Chain A
Amino acid sequence: MAEIVFAAGVPHAPAVVGLFDKAPDEARAVVSRTFDSVGRALRAARPDVLIVFANDHLTNSRITAYPDFIIGMAPEHRGPHEWFKEWIGCRDWAVPGEPEVARALFAGLTRRGVRMNAESGPLKFDDNLSVPTVMTDLDRTGIRVVPVLQNCTVPPFPDGPRCYAIGQAVGEVIRQDLPAGLRVALLGSGGLSHEPGGARYYKIDEEFDRQFLALAQRPDHATLLREMTVARMEEAGLGGTAECLSWFIVLGAIGERPGESFGYTGWPSFRCGIGGVLWNLQEAA
């Protein structure tokens, strides 16, 4: 029986790297506080493996044959993929993979009725994994990583209740299938409100973001699932805000726990609302 020792949700907007130096002080402070706190908590949790759920952004598959989930089974993961290097403006990074855990996750979720896909070769990563990796210095920790790329942008995609149920299945796989003593960390990478490539590219829905962050911190998932529908997410930013669904998977896996946030910024040039949540796994609801 493995144990979940860390759980958090963070955004991955590329501009928090590329435009960090141009941002106003208060926006920079939120970015630094969020990623520094999450990175520190991750290292303190001493995980053996980190499973990251992150939107794929149409980076690995054609739109005509688009999987809802791809588990990265490679022994190593590298990024950013070539075309995204100058766009994100971050350093090249590499993290060790964990093929055994990836295989167990693939088999365990399949047995529990969740349609997954898996890739044993290299996956292409854009901001989805690159931004949290460089902002938390994950690539300097030696922690092994299993990326799970999620479709949050090509409709129709799994909604909140489905993602939450998948998260519950992920929790079962960790507790029932993975080896005893294995320490597992979970990260949801995505959100908050943004509309990449849309007419409202510069619009950030601060009301949505603040409500989402507040609900994500509350150990009351029924309310979260009722209020934070895909329709509401799309209203807050089409094709981008629904990345918040990656957090739903983490929440399904850990159950109702209180969370802590590190502030919020809606600086327009980030083209995305920025805020994160770290969940307290010691404290049950």
Chain B
Amino acid sequence: MAWEKYDPSLATHDLVQDLKWDPQLRQQFKQNEAAVLDRYKLRPEERRAIEQRDFRALYDLGMHPYLGGQLSRFIWGNDAGRGAIEAANRLVASLQGHAGGIPEKP
């Protein structure tokens, strides 16, 4: 992948930035993800990709990978030793189209 699919206007980018900057929104996202998603002008396929944790589809719609990585940490965990590793593994599995098997996990 290069940048040919990258679309800076994708609303998911704003969702990630707001989650990063607003602890209350993060809490709401954990408790009621749908209500948070309702506030953003997500295209139907974009929202579906978030709900289905389909990062391949999100990236194909134009998501910036760095913010994709952060979205995965809002979903699966952000702590250095555990949650962030699970987030990275699940993200890569989604992008590579398999269920897991990331080599050399610590």
Interface-facing stretch out of B8-16, B37-45, B46-54: B8-16
Judge whether B65 and A269 touch: CB under 8 Å.
no
B2 touching A197 by the CB < 8 A rule? no
On whether the beta carbons of A199 and B17 are closer than 8 Å, the reply is no
Q: How far is the CB of B6 from chain A (nearest CB, A)?
A: 7
Q: Is the CB of A199 within 8 A of B9?
A: no
Would A196 and B106 count as touching, CB distance under 8 A? no
Of B6, B64, B66, most buried by chain A (CB within 10 Å of CB) is B66
CB distance from A88 to the nearest CB of B (A): 6
Cα of A89 to Cα of B80 in the assembled complex, Å: 6
Q: Which of A10-18, A71-79, A175-183, A250-258 contacts B (4 or more CB under 8 A)?
A: A10-18
A86–B79 contact, CB under 8 A? Answer: yes
Contact A197-B106, Cβ < 8 Å, known A14-B80, A58-B17: no
Instruction: Count A/B pairs, Cβ under 8 Å.
Output: 101
Least CB distance from B75 to A in Å reads 13
Q: Is the CB of A63 within 8 A of B79?
A: no
Query: Does A285 interact with chain B (Cβ within 8 Å)?
Result: no
Bound-state Cα–Cα, A154 to B8, Å: 9
Interface residues of A in 65-107 (CB under 8 A from B): 66, 82-83, 86-89
In the assembled complex, the Cα of A62 lies from the Cα of B2 at a distance in Å of: 21
A82 proximity list for chain B (CB < 8 A): 23
Most buried by B among A14, A155, A239: A239
Query: Which of A83, A201, A239 is close to B64, meaning CB atoms less than 8 Å apart?
Result: A239
B106 CB to nearest A CB, Å? 4
Residues on the A chain within 8 Å of B9, using CB: 64
Q: Whole-angstrom distance between the alpha carbons of A20 and B39 in the complex?
A: 40
Distance from A165 Cβ to chain B, minimum over Cβ atoms (Å): 23
Q: Could you say which residues of chain A place their CB within 8 Å of the CB of B26?
A: 83
Q: Are A268 and B103 in contact (CB under 8 A)?
A: yes
* CB of B36 to closest CB in A, whole Å: 16
Q: Is A195 an interface residue (CB 8 A)?
A: yes
A268: chain B residues at CB < 8 Å are 103-104
Given A62-B14, A82-B23, A153-B66, A197 and B103 contact (CB-CB distance below 8 Å): no
Q: What's the minimum C-beta distance from A151 to chain B, rounded to whole angstroms?
A: 11
Q: B30 contacts the other chain (Cβ, under 8 Å)?
A: no
**Of B65, B67, B79, B84, the contact of A238 (CB 8 Å cutoff):** B65
Within 8 A of A (CB), among B59-106: 64-70, 72-73, 78-81, 84-85, 88, 91-92, 95-96, 102-106
Interface residues, chain B, with chain A CB atoms under 8 Å away: 1-3, 6, 8-9, 13-14, 17, 20-21, 23, 26, 64-70, 72-73, 78-81, 84-85, 88, 91-92, 95-96, 102-106
